[in-house]
Chains A and B, each alone.
Chain A
Amino acid sequence: MPRTLTDALKAIAANPSAQLIQGGTDLMVEINFNHRKPTDVIALRLVDELKSVQIDTKKSQVTIGAGLPYQQMEHGEIARHLPALAQAARTVGSPQIRSAGSIGGNLGTCSPAGDALPVLSALDATVNLQSAEASRSVSVHDFMVGVKRNARLPGEIIVSTTLPIVSGWQGYAKVGVRNAMVISVASCCLVVNRANGTIAVALGAVGPTIIRCRETESWLASQMNLKINATISPNLLQEFGDRIANESKPIDDHRSTATYRRHAVSVLARRLLTRANSQ
């Protein structure tokens, strides 16, 4: 079992199709239910490099190791610079899950309901990958390619993600069947960049992968001055919600219906926009 990133990269270079496991909160469910029977496993939980955090205030960015447990993002420096990520981290499962689950796991599984993923999308995060020979950085938008499909190549390990520190308001909200220990039925991350006068809205669990609402974003910027904290008229807020719902692509499944999800995601987005403009 590798204890350094170098050893982990050597192991996956020798066996590029080996199953990677970090916290186990996704993979072990599949194994427990006999949906997957791995023979070759590379466990990353003892690799300390994957739990590092670099806060670079000069470049205004935070790089978070792919294996850092969500528990570590709920408070402290990460929460101060990336409040939406802290909120998303707090909504992940239970304390037991948050001490194991990580952004690397969310990206590796690439479920549209992964709680960190709308935050990564709304912040235009970068995913940093490494193999024994090379390293590369990919925009999170290019990394998430579909339902449980991502752009990681055989032989690569997701090592970290880099997120910008944005001045302005940001928040995350989700709907589930209970308050704790729940997988998203619909989720939303909204980031207002006051310096640029732009807004970013990303939706989770309402499409094959995370959806960025780029049309609604540019429409809203044309309707109001996002550089200042202005009151939003009820009509504008309603149209914003309707446009968000139109950009979502939900389905009926065991967790909810498309109709409910479309409604829920519109409510979440309106709620976040209201909060953004009442601070």
Chain B
Amino acid sequence: MIQLFHVTKQYGAEAPALSDVSLEVHKGEFVFLTGPSGAGKSTLLKLIFCAEPTTSGQILVFGRNVSRLRPAQVPYLRRSIGVVFQDFKLLPHRTVAENVAVPLEVRGIHPREVVRKVAGALRGVGLDLKGGKFPLSLSGGEQQRAAVARALVGDPALLLADEPTGNLDADRTAEVMALLEAASARGTTVVVATHDRGLLARHKKRVIALEGGRVISDGDSIRRATGT
């Protein structure tokens, strides 16, 4: 599903945000990317959904080398990827339902089908009664659930979540993680960037740890090394 080969990302003359990172995420896997602030978690996600180009190295997503994608091809790759952000990135002047509909509208899906899918997505995150409300009238947890609904409404093969619970309390965090695990259970590959150690402890998943832009441990590797 995702393969990184010796990927380096450097902004100007600063120290590399990512340095010689190689890893692989398989189809249907649920993976945590962890590390302190500045470790390179968000940068890694940005490279995967082509928000940034790599400085060197190759990234394959769905078998396609994203480093070689022409700009015009990027939107079509992104339609197979759902993204959830810490700050939700919901449009304040659009209702929750309209926000969730955006990924479907950009694909030119018929309005009737959009209404049906949006209703399903909102039901899936427990916001079926809040579709007509504006994001700023919702709680943080509800806004993040709306963002998850938007990320999942197009049935993406890959879901990337960048600190999705960073702004939420424990109960709301549990709700959002339940939604991500449900998506994973349906076959979606999920990559969650977080620095929340408690989250890692509660959810027994593969953990890739980054520090200073380098992979310092990988759950798979650890298991292999320890024989567990």
Do A and B actually bind? no
